[in-house]
Amino acid sequence: MCADFSIFVNFLVTGCRIMGVDSQMLGTTGQYVVPLVLPIILPCVLLLLVRRLWYEYNVMSRDPASDLPLPDGSMGWPVIGETIGFGLQGSQFYEKKFRQHGRLFKTHLFGRPTVRVRGADNIRKILHGENDIVKSYWPATTQLLIGPESLTQSQGVHHVKLRKHVMTAFSHTALSGYISLIHPIMIKTIHDWCQVPGGVAGYPECRLLTFMVAGKVLCGFDCSKEETTKLIDYFEEIVHCFFSLPINLPGSGLNRGLKARDYIRQRIMANITLKETDDTQDALRILMDQKNEAEETPSHENIAANAIDLLVAGYASTASAACSVIIQLYKNRQILTKVRQELKEHGMDVSGSQLTLLKINELKYVTSVVKEVLRMSPPIGAAFRKALRTFELDGKQIPAGWTLLYSIRETIDFADVFTDKAKFDPDRFASERREDKTGDRYNFCIFGGGSRSCIGKAFAVLLLRMLVIELARTCNWELLEPDTLKIAHLPTPHPVDGMPVRFTKLEDVDHNANSVVFNCESE
Protein backbone atom coordinates (compact mmCIF):
# COMPACT_ATOMS: atom_id res chain seq x y z
CA MET A 1 0.00 0.00 0.00
CA CYS A 2 2.82 2.36 1.10
CA ALA A 3 4.92 1.38 -1.91
CA ASP A 4 1.92 1.94 -4.11
CA PHE A 5 1.45 5.38 -2.60
CA SER A 6 5.09 6.37 -3.16
CA ILE A 7 4.86 5.19 -6.77
CA PHE A 8 1.75 7.31 -7.07
CA VAL A 9 3.48 10.37 -5.57
CA ASN A 10 6.43 9.85 -7.93
CA PHE A 11 3.96 9.65 -10.78
CA LEU A 12 2.49 12.99 -9.72
CA VAL A 13 5.93 14.55 -9.27
CA THR A 14 6.88 13.41 -12.77
CA GLY A 15 3.58 14.79 -14.02
CA CYS A 16 4.37 18.13 -12.35
CA ARG A 17 7.83 18.23 -13.91
CA ILE A 18 6.43 17.47 -17.34
CA MET A 19 4.07 20.38 -16.81
CA GLY A 20 7.01 22.68 -15.89
CA VAL A 21 6.59 22.94 -12.11
CA ASP A 22 10.16 23.44 -10.74
CA SER A 23 11.77 21.01 -8.31
CA GLN A 24 12.30 23.51 -5.47
CA MET A 25 8.61 23.98 -5.30
CA LEU A 26 8.01 20.22 -5.30
CA GLY A 27 10.73 19.28 -2.80
CA THR A 28 13.08 16.37 -3.49
CA THR A 29 10.80 13.73 -2.02
CA GLY A 30 7.66 15.38 -3.13
CA GLN A 31 6.69 16.14 0.49
CA TYR A 32 4.72 19.26 -0.54
CA VAL A 33 2.93 17.48 -3.31
CA VAL A 34 0.32 15.68 -1.28
CA PRO A 35 -1.16 18.53 0.79
CA LEU A 36 -0.52 21.45 -1.58
CA VAL A 37 -0.43 20.33 -5.15
CA LEU A 38 -2.36 17.06 -5.14
CA PRO A 39 -5.86 18.53 -5.51
CA ILE A 40 -4.69 20.62 -8.47
CA ILE A 41 -2.25 18.25 -10.09
CA LEU A 42 -4.24 15.03 -9.86
CA PRO A 43 -7.18 16.21 -12.00
CA CYS A 44 -4.75 17.80 -14.47
CA VAL A 45 -2.67 14.65 -14.83
CA LEU A 46 -5.81 12.54 -15.19
CA LEU A 47 -7.17 14.92 -17.80
CA LEU A 48 -3.91 14.73 -19.76
CA LEU A 49 -4.02 10.96 -19.50
CA VAL A 50 -7.60 10.82 -20.76
CA ARG A 51 -6.73 13.20 -23.58
CA ARG A 52 -3.78 10.98 -24.56
CA LEU A 53 -5.98 7.86 -24.48
CA TRP A 54 -8.55 9.63 -26.65
CA TYR A 55 -5.81 10.53 -29.12
CA GLU A 56 -4.57 6.92 -29.21
CA TYR A 57 -8.15 5.67 -29.59
CA ASN A 58 -8.70 7.87 -32.66
CA VAL A 59 -5.31 7.11 -34.12
CA MET A 60 -6.17 3.42 -33.82
CA SER A 61 -8.89 3.99 -36.40
CA ARG A 62 -6.10 4.52 -39.00
CA ASP A 63 -6.08 1.90 -41.73
CA PRO A 64 -3.46 -0.74 -40.78
CA ALA A 65 -3.37 -1.92 -44.40
CA SER A 66 -1.79 1.41 -45.39
CA ASP A 67 1.87 2.22 -44.61
CA LEU A 68 1.20 5.93 -44.81
CA PRO A 69 1.05 8.03 -41.62
CA LEU A 70 -2.01 9.98 -40.59
CA PRO A 71 -1.88 13.75 -41.15
CA ASP A 72 -0.41 15.78 -38.26
CA GLY A 73 -2.76 17.49 -35.83
CA SER A 74 -4.56 16.96 -32.53
CA MET A 75 -7.83 15.22 -31.68
CA GLY A 76 -8.73 17.57 -28.80
CA TRP A 77 -10.74 16.30 -25.85
CA PRO A 78 -12.86 13.15 -25.56
CA VAL A 79 -16.11 13.27 -27.54
CA ILE A 80 -16.09 17.06 -28.10
CA GLY A 81 -12.72 16.91 -29.88
CA GLU A 82 -11.76 20.43 -30.97
CA THR A 83 -15.34 21.55 -31.65
CA ILE A 84 -15.32 24.19 -28.89
CA GLY A 85 -12.00 25.69 -30.06
CA PHE A 86 -13.42 25.81 -33.56
CA GLY A 87 -16.64 27.44 -32.31
CA LEU A 88 -14.73 30.10 -30.37
CA GLN A 89 -12.00 30.90 -32.89
CA GLY A 90 -13.99 30.48 -36.12
CA SER A 91 -11.92 30.70 -39.27
CA GLN A 92 -8.78 31.57 -37.27
CA PHE A 93 -8.83 28.01 -35.96
CA TYR A 94 -8.19 26.67 -39.47
CA GLU A 95 -5.76 29.40 -40.49
CA LYS A 96 -3.59 28.69 -37.42
CA LYS A 97 -3.61 24.95 -38.05
CA PHE A 98 -2.76 25.31 -41.73
CA ARG A 99 0.21 27.52 -40.79
CA GLN A 100 1.28 24.94 -38.22
CA HIS A 101 0.82 21.73 -40.23
CA GLY A 102 0.95 22.67 -43.92
CA ARG A 103 -1.71 21.67 -46.45
CA LEU A 104 -3.68 19.20 -44.33
CA PHE A 105 -4.24 18.37 -40.69
CA LYS A 106 -6.33 16.03 -38.64
CA THR A 107 -8.74 17.16 -35.94
CA HIS A 108 -11.97 15.98 -34.31
CA LEU A 109 -15.11 18.01 -35.07
CA PHE A 110 -18.83 17.47 -34.51
CA GLY A 111 -18.16 14.02 -33.05
CA ARG A 112 -16.07 12.71 -35.96
CA PRO A 113 -12.38 12.34 -36.83
CA THR A 114 -11.84 14.89 -39.56
CA VAL A 115 -9.13 15.96 -42.00
CA ARG A 116 -9.17 19.52 -43.30
CA VAL A 117 -7.33 20.01 -46.56
CA ARG A 118 -6.32 22.82 -48.91
CA GLY A 119 -4.42 23.05 -52.20
CA ALA A 120 -5.74 22.94 -55.77
CA ASP A 121 -4.35 19.46 -56.58
CA ASN A 122 -5.76 17.96 -53.37
CA ILE A 123 -9.15 19.51 -54.05
CA ARG A 124 -9.09 18.23 -57.61
CA LYS A 125 -8.49 14.70 -56.34
CA ILE A 126 -11.37 14.94 -53.86
CA LEU A 127 -13.90 16.56 -56.21
CA HIS A 128 -13.15 14.18 -59.04
CA GLY A 129 -13.24 11.19 -56.70
CA GLU A 130 -16.96 11.55 -55.86
CA ASN A 131 -18.54 8.09 -55.35
CA ASP A 132 -15.11 6.48 -55.69
CA ILE A 133 -12.90 7.71 -52.85
CA VAL A 134 -15.39 10.10 -51.23
CA LYS A 135 -19.07 10.93 -51.08
CA SER A 136 -20.88 14.11 -50.22
CA TYR A 137 -21.66 14.08 -46.51
CA TRP A 138 -24.10 16.01 -44.33
CA PRO A 139 -24.80 15.71 -40.60
CA ALA A 140 -27.79 13.47 -39.75
CA THR A 141 -30.04 16.38 -38.72
CA THR A 142 -29.41 18.23 -41.99
CA GLN A 143 -30.38 15.09 -43.90
CA LEU A 144 -33.63 14.84 -41.92
CA LEU A 145 -34.47 18.53 -42.38
CA ILE A 146 -33.79 18.74 -46.10
CA GLY A 147 -35.02 15.24 -46.95
CA PRO A 148 -33.42 12.41 -48.95
CA GLU A 149 -35.40 13.30 -52.08
CA SER A 150 -33.57 16.65 -52.49
CA LEU A 151 -30.56 17.24 -54.73
CA THR A 152 -27.95 17.99 -52.05
CA GLN A 153 -28.92 14.93 -49.97
CA SER A 154 -29.32 12.42 -52.80
CA GLN A 155 -26.49 10.06 -53.70
CA GLY A 156 -25.23 7.97 -56.64
CA VAL A 157 -27.46 7.34 -59.65
CA HIS A 158 -30.41 9.12 -58.04
CA HIS A 159 -28.26 12.24 -57.66
CA VAL A 160 -27.14 12.14 -61.30
CA LYS A 161 -30.74 11.89 -62.55
CA LEU A 162 -32.07 14.53 -60.20
CA ARG A 163 -29.24 16.91 -61.06
CA LYS A 164 -30.07 16.61 -64.76
CA HIS A 165 -33.68 17.47 -63.94
CA VAL A 166 -32.88 20.46 -61.69
CA MET A 167 -30.30 21.79 -64.21
CA THR A 168 -33.18 22.68 -66.53
CA ALA A 169 -34.08 25.47 -64.10
CA PHE A 170 -30.64 27.07 -64.74
CA SER A 171 -30.39 26.82 -68.55
CA HIS A 172 -29.55 29.88 -70.63
CA THR A 173 -33.23 30.29 -71.56
CA ALA A 174 -34.35 29.96 -67.95
CA LEU A 175 -31.82 32.56 -66.75
CA SER A 176 -32.87 34.99 -69.50
CA GLY A 177 -36.45 34.71 -68.27
CA TYR A 178 -35.48 35.26 -64.61
CA ILE A 179 -34.07 38.73 -65.36
CA SER A 180 -37.56 40.21 -65.68
CA LEU A 181 -38.45 38.70 -62.28
CA ILE A 182 -35.28 39.90 -60.54
CA HIS A 183 -34.93 43.37 -62.01
CA PRO A 184 -38.09 45.08 -60.62
CA ILE A 185 -37.32 43.79 -57.10
CA MET A 186 -33.78 45.11 -57.34
CA ILE A 187 -34.81 48.52 -58.70
CA LYS A 188 -37.45 48.98 -56.00
CA THR A 189 -35.15 47.84 -53.19
CA ILE A 190 -32.31 50.19 -54.18
CA HIS A 191 -34.83 53.01 -54.60
CA ASP A 192 -36.15 52.30 -51.07
CA TRP A 193 -32.62 52.31 -49.65
CA CYS A 194 -32.07 55.77 -51.14
CA GLN A 195 -35.22 57.04 -49.40
CA VAL A 196 -33.78 56.58 -45.90
CA PRO A 197 -31.62 59.63 -45.12
CA GLY A 198 -30.25 58.11 -41.92
CA GLY A 199 -29.09 54.97 -43.72
CA VAL A 200 -30.14 51.30 -43.61
CA ALA A 201 -28.63 48.19 -42.01
CA GLY A 202 -26.66 46.96 -45.03
CA TYR A 203 -26.30 43.28 -44.24
CA PRO A 204 -29.91 42.55 -43.18
CA GLU A 205 -31.04 44.49 -46.27
CA CYS A 206 -28.81 42.35 -48.52
CA ARG A 207 -30.34 39.24 -46.97
CA LEU A 208 -33.83 40.61 -47.56
CA LEU A 209 -33.07 41.52 -51.17
CA THR A 210 -31.51 38.13 -51.88
CA PHE A 211 -34.37 36.28 -50.22
CA MET A 212 -36.98 38.26 -52.15
CA VAL A 213 -35.19 37.55 -55.44
CA ALA A 214 -34.29 33.89 -54.77
CA GLY A 215 -37.67 33.25 -53.11
CA LYS A 216 -39.50 34.63 -56.14
CA VAL A 217 -37.40 32.87 -58.79
CA LEU A 218 -36.90 29.53 -57.03
CA CYS A 219 -40.04 29.12 -54.88
CA GLY A 220 -42.67 31.42 -56.40
CA PHE A 221 -42.92 33.73 -53.36
CA ASP A 222 -44.31 37.18 -54.06
CA CYS A 223 -44.59 38.75 -50.63
CA SER A 224 -44.43 42.08 -48.87
CA LYS A 225 -41.30 43.04 -46.98
CA GLU A 226 -42.96 42.11 -43.67
CA GLU A 227 -44.02 38.69 -44.88
CA THR A 228 -40.59 38.06 -46.40
CA THR A 229 -39.00 38.90 -43.04
CA LYS A 230 -41.26 36.28 -41.42
CA LEU A 231 -40.31 33.69 -44.05
CA ILE A 232 -36.63 34.47 -43.46
CA ASP A 233 -37.10 33.80 -39.73
CA TYR A 234 -38.59 30.36 -40.44
CA PHE A 235 -35.98 29.69 -43.01
CA GLU A 236 -33.07 30.66 -40.77
CA GLU A 237 -34.51 28.44 -38.04
CA ILE A 238 -34.08 25.47 -40.41
CA VAL A 239 -30.46 26.39 -41.12
CA HIS A 240 -29.65 27.06 -37.43
CA CYS A 241 -30.82 23.56 -36.56
CA PHE A 242 -28.62 21.81 -39.15
CA PHE A 243 -25.95 20.81 -36.63
CA SER A 244 -28.19 19.96 -33.68
CA LEU A 245 -28.59 16.42 -32.33
CA PRO A 246 -30.77 14.14 -34.47
CA ILE A 247 -33.32 13.68 -31.66
CA ASN A 248 -36.92 14.65 -32.32
CA LEU A 249 -38.22 15.69 -28.90
CA PRO A 250 -40.43 18.73 -28.12
CA GLY A 251 -38.16 21.81 -28.07
CA SER A 252 -35.14 20.02 -29.55
CA GLY A 253 -33.25 21.57 -32.51
CA LEU A 254 -34.50 18.91 -34.90
CA ASN A 255 -38.08 19.39 -33.70
CA ARG A 256 -37.94 23.17 -34.18
CA GLY A 257 -36.25 22.75 -37.56
CA LEU A 258 -38.92 20.30 -38.75
CA LYS A 259 -41.72 22.70 -37.73
CA ALA A 260 -40.07 25.56 -39.63
CA ARG A 261 -39.45 23.31 -42.62
CA ASP A 262 -43.13 22.24 -42.66
CA TYR A 263 -44.27 25.87 -42.61
CA ILE A 264 -42.06 26.76 -45.60
CA ARG A 265 -43.11 23.59 -47.42
CA GLN A 266 -46.81 24.37 -46.99
CA ARG A 267 -46.22 27.86 -48.38
CA ILE A 268 -44.39 26.47 -51.43
CA MET A 269 -47.11 23.83 -51.95
CA ALA A 270 -49.65 26.70 -52.02
CA ASN A 271 -47.48 28.47 -54.64
CA ILE A 272 -47.44 25.27 -56.70
CA THR A 273 -51.25 25.13 -56.59
CA LEU A 274 -51.39 28.76 -57.81
CA LYS A 275 -49.31 27.69 -60.81
CA GLU A 276 -52.42 26.09 -62.31
CA THR A 277 -53.55 29.57 -63.33
CA ASP A 278 -50.19 31.35 -63.58
CA ASP A 279 -47.58 30.61 -66.21
CA THR A 280 -44.72 32.79 -64.87
CA GLN A 281 -41.53 31.06 -66.00
CA ASP A 282 -39.90 30.64 -62.60
CA ALA A 283 -37.96 27.59 -61.39
CA LEU A 284 -41.13 25.97 -59.95
CA ARG A 285 -42.87 26.19 -63.33
CA ILE A 286 -39.84 24.80 -65.17
CA LEU A 287 -39.43 21.90 -62.72
CA MET A 288 -43.18 21.13 -62.88
CA ASP A 289 -43.21 21.06 -66.68
CA GLN A 290 -40.06 18.98 -67.01
CA LYS A 291 -40.40 15.21 -67.04
CA ASN A 292 -37.75 13.20 -65.21
CA GLU A 293 -35.68 10.27 -66.61
CA ALA A 294 -38.62 7.89 -66.20
CA GLU A 295 -40.78 10.26 -68.29
CA GLU A 296 -42.82 11.06 -65.18
CA THR A 297 -43.72 14.47 -63.87
CA PRO A 298 -42.21 14.73 -60.37
CA SER A 299 -44.66 14.94 -57.46
CA HIS A 300 -45.46 18.33 -55.95
CA GLU A 301 -43.84 17.22 -52.65
CA ASN A 302 -40.69 16.43 -54.56
CA ILE A 303 -40.66 19.79 -56.32
CA ALA A 304 -41.26 21.61 -53.02
CA ALA A 305 -38.39 19.68 -51.34
CA ASN A 306 -36.03 20.68 -54.13
CA ALA A 307 -37.17 24.30 -54.08
CA ILE A 308 -36.36 24.45 -50.32
CA ASP A 309 -33.03 22.77 -51.02
CA LEU A 310 -32.10 25.36 -53.66
CA LEU A 311 -33.06 28.21 -51.36
CA VAL A 312 -31.03 26.71 -48.49
CA ALA A 313 -28.01 26.18 -50.73
CA GLY A 314 -28.16 29.57 -52.41
CA TYR A 315 -29.64 32.23 -50.18
CA ALA A 316 -27.06 32.92 -47.43
CA SER A 317 -24.04 32.56 -49.75
CA THR A 318 -25.45 34.99 -52.30
CA ALA A 319 -26.54 37.46 -49.58
CA SER A 320 -23.00 37.40 -48.20
CA ALA A 321 -21.56 38.11 -51.66
CA ALA A 322 -24.09 40.93 -52.21
CA CYS A 323 -22.91 42.55 -48.98
CA SER A 324 -19.27 42.14 -50.09
CA VAL A 325 -20.15 43.96 -53.35
CA ILE A 326 -21.30 46.97 -51.31
CA ILE A 327 -18.18 46.91 -49.11
CA GLN A 328 -15.63 46.46 -51.90
CA LEU A 329 -17.10 49.05 -54.26
CA TYR A 330 -17.21 51.51 -51.40
CA LYS A 331 -13.61 50.85 -50.42
CA ASN A 332 -12.44 50.98 -54.04
CA ARG A 333 -14.09 54.06 -55.57
CA GLN A 334 -11.82 53.97 -58.64
CA ILE A 335 -13.26 50.52 -59.50
CA LEU A 336 -16.80 51.89 -59.24
CA THR A 337 -15.79 54.66 -61.63
CA LYS A 338 -14.49 52.05 -64.11
CA VAL A 339 -17.77 50.11 -63.83
CA ARG A 340 -19.66 53.31 -64.67
CA GLN A 341 -17.38 53.91 -67.65
CA GLU A 342 -18.10 50.42 -68.96
CA LEU A 343 -21.86 50.92 -68.53
CA LYS A 344 -21.62 54.21 -70.41
CA GLU A 345 -19.63 52.64 -73.27
CA HIS A 346 -22.38 50.04 -73.67
CA GLY A 347 -25.22 52.55 -73.40
CA MET A 348 -26.40 50.94 -70.17
CA ASP A 349 -25.84 53.78 -67.71
CA VAL A 350 -29.47 54.87 -67.24
CA SER A 351 -30.82 53.78 -63.86
CA GLY A 352 -33.46 51.06 -64.16
CA SER A 353 -33.19 50.72 -67.96
CA GLN A 354 -33.90 47.30 -69.42
CA LEU A 355 -31.39 44.48 -68.95
CA THR A 356 -31.02 41.32 -71.02
CA LEU A 357 -28.65 38.39 -70.60
CA LEU A 358 -26.99 39.30 -73.89
CA LYS A 359 -26.32 42.86 -72.74
CA ILE A 360 -25.12 41.76 -69.30
CA ASN A 361 -22.73 39.24 -70.86
CA GLU A 362 -21.07 42.05 -72.83
CA LEU A 363 -19.95 43.70 -69.57
CA LYS A 364 -16.58 41.99 -69.03
CA TYR A 365 -15.39 44.39 -66.37
CA VAL A 366 -18.57 43.92 -64.29
CA THR A 367 -18.03 40.15 -64.47
CA SER A 368 -14.42 40.60 -63.29
CA VAL A 369 -15.62 42.78 -60.40
CA VAL A 370 -17.97 40.00 -59.25
CA LYS A 371 -15.19 37.40 -59.51
CA GLU A 372 -12.85 39.62 -57.50
CA VAL A 373 -15.51 40.15 -54.81
CA LEU A 374 -15.86 36.35 -54.54
CA ARG A 375 -12.07 35.85 -54.45
CA MET A 376 -11.64 38.38 -51.64
CA SER A 377 -14.56 36.95 -49.59
CA PRO A 378 -15.48 33.41 -50.66
CA PRO A 379 -19.04 32.93 -49.36
CA ILE A 380 -18.59 29.19 -48.80
CA GLY A 381 -15.40 28.50 -46.84
CA ALA A 382 -15.38 24.71 -47.12
CA ALA A 383 -17.51 21.66 -47.90
CA PHE A 384 -17.86 18.22 -46.31
CA ARG A 385 -17.06 14.78 -47.70
CA LYS A 386 -16.80 11.30 -46.20
CA ALA A 387 -13.96 8.94 -47.23
CA LEU A 388 -15.46 5.81 -48.80
CA ARG A 389 -12.11 4.02 -48.76
CA THR A 390 -8.63 4.78 -47.48
CA PHE A 391 -6.67 6.94 -49.89
CA GLU A 392 -3.59 9.13 -50.06
CA LEU A 393 -3.31 12.94 -49.97
CA ASP A 394 0.06 14.70 -49.74
CA GLY A 395 1.76 11.44 -48.66
CA LYS A 396 -0.67 10.93 -45.75
CA GLN A 397 -3.47 8.39 -45.37
CA ILE A 398 -7.11 9.48 -45.19
CA PRO A 399 -8.75 6.49 -43.47
CA ALA A 400 -12.06 5.10 -44.73
CA GLY A 401 -15.00 6.56 -42.79
CA TRP A 402 -13.25 9.79 -41.76
CA THR A 403 -14.77 13.18 -42.59
CA LEU A 404 -12.97 15.47 -45.01
CA LEU A 405 -13.42 19.21 -45.20
CA TYR A 406 -12.00 20.67 -48.38
CA SER A 407 -11.05 24.31 -47.83
CA ILE A 408 -12.11 26.80 -50.44
CA ARG A 409 -11.09 29.96 -48.57
CA GLU A 410 -7.59 28.81 -47.60
CA THR A 411 -6.93 27.27 -51.03
CA ILE A 412 -7.63 30.64 -52.62
CA ASP A 413 -5.75 32.54 -49.90
CA PHE A 414 -2.60 30.45 -50.29
CA ALA A 415 -2.70 30.17 -54.12
CA ASP A 416 0.44 31.65 -55.70
CA VAL A 417 -1.31 32.34 -59.01
CA PHE A 418 -2.92 35.46 -57.56
CA THR A 419 -0.53 38.41 -57.59
CA ASP A 420 -0.70 41.11 -54.90
CA LYS A 421 -3.43 39.09 -53.17
CA ALA A 422 -4.58 41.75 -50.71
CA LYS A 423 -5.35 44.21 -53.51
CA PHE A 424 -8.90 44.42 -54.92
CA ASP A 425 -7.96 44.15 -58.57
CA PRO A 426 -10.67 42.93 -60.98
CA ASP A 427 -8.20 43.23 -63.88
CA ARG A 428 -6.52 40.02 -62.70
CA PHE A 429 -9.43 38.26 -64.44
CA ALA A 430 -9.09 40.24 -67.71
CA SER A 431 -8.19 38.29 -70.87
CA GLU A 432 -4.55 39.50 -70.77
CA ARG A 433 -3.95 38.12 -67.25
CA ARG A 434 -6.57 35.47 -66.48
CA GLU A 435 -5.06 34.55 -63.15
CA ASP A 436 -8.00 32.24 -62.41
CA LYS A 437 -7.08 30.15 -65.44
CA THR A 438 -3.34 30.09 -64.67
CA GLY A 439 -2.13 26.71 -63.38
CA ASP A 440 -4.72 24.45 -61.79
CA ARG A 441 -8.23 25.89 -62.13
CA TYR A 442 -9.05 24.63 -58.63
CA ASN A 443 -6.95 27.49 -57.26
CA PHE A 444 -10.19 29.43 -57.79
CA CYS A 445 -12.70 26.88 -56.51
CA ILE A 446 -15.43 29.29 -55.36
CA PHE A 447 -18.23 27.06 -56.67
CA GLY A 448 -16.64 23.65 -55.98
CA GLY A 449 -16.30 21.31 -58.94
CA GLY A 450 -17.00 17.87 -60.39
CA SER A 451 -20.40 16.20 -60.14
CA ARG A 452 -21.32 18.21 -57.00
CA SER A 453 -20.35 21.64 -58.32
CA CYS A 454 -22.70 24.52 -57.58
CA ILE A 455 -25.83 24.13 -59.70
CA GLY A 456 -26.88 27.73 -58.97
CA LYS A 457 -23.57 29.31 -60.02
CA ALA A 458 -24.90 31.06 -63.14
CA PHE A 459 -27.94 32.31 -61.22
CA ALA A 460 -25.82 33.66 -58.34
CA VAL A 461 -23.37 35.37 -60.70
CA LEU A 462 -26.25 36.86 -62.71
CA LEU A 463 -27.85 38.27 -59.56
CA LEU A 464 -24.54 39.77 -58.40
CA ARG A 465 -23.77 41.31 -61.80
CA MET A 466 -27.25 42.87 -61.85
CA LEU A 467 -26.63 44.27 -58.37
CA VAL A 468 -23.30 45.83 -59.45
CA ILE A 469 -24.95 47.36 -62.53
CA GLU A 470 -28.02 48.72 -60.77
CA LEU A 471 -26.09 50.11 -57.79
CA ALA A 472 -23.45 51.75 -60.00
CA ARG A 473 -25.94 53.49 -62.25
CA THR A 474 -28.42 54.50 -59.54
CA CYS A 475 -26.57 55.71 -56.47
CA ASN A 476 -23.52 56.39 -54.37
CA TRP A 477 -23.23 54.91 -50.92
CA GLU A 478 -21.30 55.47 -47.77
CA LEU A 479 -20.57 53.06 -44.91
CA LEU A 480 -21.48 54.98 -41.78
CA GLU A 481 -19.15 53.16 -39.39
CA PRO A 482 -16.27 52.07 -41.62
CA ASP A 483 -13.60 52.15 -38.93
CA THR A 484 -15.37 49.63 -36.74
CA LEU A 485 -16.51 47.28 -39.50
CA LYS A 486 -15.59 43.74 -38.50
CA ILE A 487 -16.18 40.73 -40.74
CA ALA A 488 -16.99 37.33 -39.17
CA HIS A 489 -16.47 34.39 -41.53
CA LEU A 490 -18.89 31.78 -40.22
CA PRO A 491 -21.27 30.52 -41.44
CA THR A 492 -20.72 32.95 -44.37
CA PRO A 493 -18.69 36.19 -44.31
CA HIS A 494 -20.82 38.96 -42.82
CA PRO A 495 -20.36 42.25 -40.95
CA VAL A 496 -20.71 41.71 -37.22
CA ASP A 497 -22.56 45.01 -36.64
CA GLY A 498 -25.03 44.70 -39.54
CA MET A 499 -23.17 47.48 -41.40
CA PRO A 500 -25.08 50.79 -41.50
CA VAL A 501 -24.98 52.30 -45.00
CA ARG A 502 -26.42 55.48 -46.48
CA PHE A 503 -27.44 55.35 -50.14
CA THR A 504 -27.87 58.56 -52.16
CA LYS A 505 -29.39 58.71 -55.64
CA LEU A 506 -26.87 59.90 -58.23
CA GLU A 507 -28.97 62.93 -59.14
CA ASP A 508 -28.89 64.00 -55.46
CA VAL A 509 -25.12 63.47 -54.95
CA ASP A 510 -23.01 66.36 -53.78
CA HIS A 511 -20.13 66.00 -56.24
CA ASN A 512 -17.82 68.14 -54.09
CA ALA A 513 -18.03 65.82 -51.10
CA ASN A 514 -14.69 64.42 -49.92
CA SER A 515 -14.14 60.69 -50.16
CA VAL A 516 -13.92 58.85 -46.85
CA VAL A 517 -10.78 57.02 -45.75
CA PHE A 518 -11.68 53.38 -45.22
CA ASN A 519 -10.32 50.95 -42.73
CA CYS A 520 -11.75 47.43 -42.41
CA GLU A 521 -10.74 44.88 -39.81
CA SER A 522 -11.33 41.20 -40.27
CA GLU A 523 -11.88 38.84 -37.36
CA angle 7, 11, 16 (to 5 degrees): 145
In order, the DSSP letters of 254-273 are: HHHHHHHHHHHHHHHHHHHH
As beta bridge partners, residue 5 has none
How many Cβ atoms are within 10 Å of 445's Cβ, its own excluded? Answer: 26
Residue 314 engages ligand HEM in binding (rule: CB under 6 A): yes
Considering only CA atoms, which of 279, 384, 277, 369 is closest in space to residue 331? 369
Using the contact rule CB under 6 A, the part of the chain among 141-149, 313-321, 351-359, 500-508 near ligand HEM is 313-321
Which window, 59-67, 257-265, 441-449, 515-523, contacts ligand HEM (CB under 6 A)?
Answer: 441-449
Residue number, 260 or 446, with CB nearest to ligand HEM = 446
* Beta strands across the sheet bearing 104-109: 104-109, 112-117, 403-407, 382-387, 134-136
d(CA 91, CA 93): 5
CB of 154 to ligand HEM, least distance (A): 8
Identified binder of ligand HEM from the candidate list 93, 235, 414, 459, rule CB under 6 A: 459
Select 26 or 214, whichever has its Cβ closest to ligand HEM. 214
- Residue 495 sits in the site that holds ligand HEM (CB under 6 A): no
Site string for ligand HEM, 401-420 (x = CB under 6 A): -------x------------
Q: Which stretch binds ligand HEM (CB under 6 A): 75-83, 106-114, 226-234, 451-459?
A: 451-459
Contact 323, 488 (CB under 8 A): no
Q: Does 177 bind ligand HEM (CB under 6 A)?
A: no
Q: Please tell me whether residue 377 binds ligand HEM under the rule CB under 6 A.
A: no
Question: Under a CB-based contact definition with an 8 Å cutoff, are residues 455 and 167 in contact?
Answer: yes
Least Å distance between CB 397 and ligand HEM?
Answer: 22
Shortest reach from residue 79's CB to ligand HEM, in Å = 26
Residues 6+ apart with CB under 8 A from 51: 76, 77, 78
- Whether the Cβ atoms of residue 104 and residue 78 lie closer than 8 Å to each other: no
CB of 16 or CB of 455, closer to ligand HEM: 455
Longest pairwise C-alpha distance within the chain: 94
Instruction: Pick the piece of the chain touching ligand HEM (CB under 6 A) from 63-71, 176-184, 259-267, 317-325.
Output: 317-325
- What are residue 384's phi and psi, to 5 degrees? -90, 145
Nearer residue to ligand HEM within complex by CB, 150 or 244? 150
Number of residues that bind ligand HEM (CB under 6 A): 25
**Binding status of residue 145 toward ligand HEM by CB under 6 A:** no
Q: What is the DSSP letter of 447?
A: T
Which residue of 321, 366, 479, 487 would you call a contact of ligand HEM, by CB under 6 A?
321
CB of 445 to ligand HEM, least distance (A): 7
The interface mask with ligand HEM, positions 151-170, x = CB under 6 A, is xx----------x-------
Binder of ligand HEM out of 254, 284, 308, 310 (CB under 6 A):
310
Q: What separation in angstroms does the CA of 275 have from each of 214, 284, 289, 307?
A: 17, 8, 11, 14
Q: Alpha-carbon Rg of the chain, whole angstroms?
A: 27
User: Rule CB under 6 A: which residues touch ligand HEM?
Assistant: 136, 151-152, 163, 218, 309-310, 313-314, 317-318, 321, 379-380, 383, 408, 446-448, 452, 454-456, 459-460
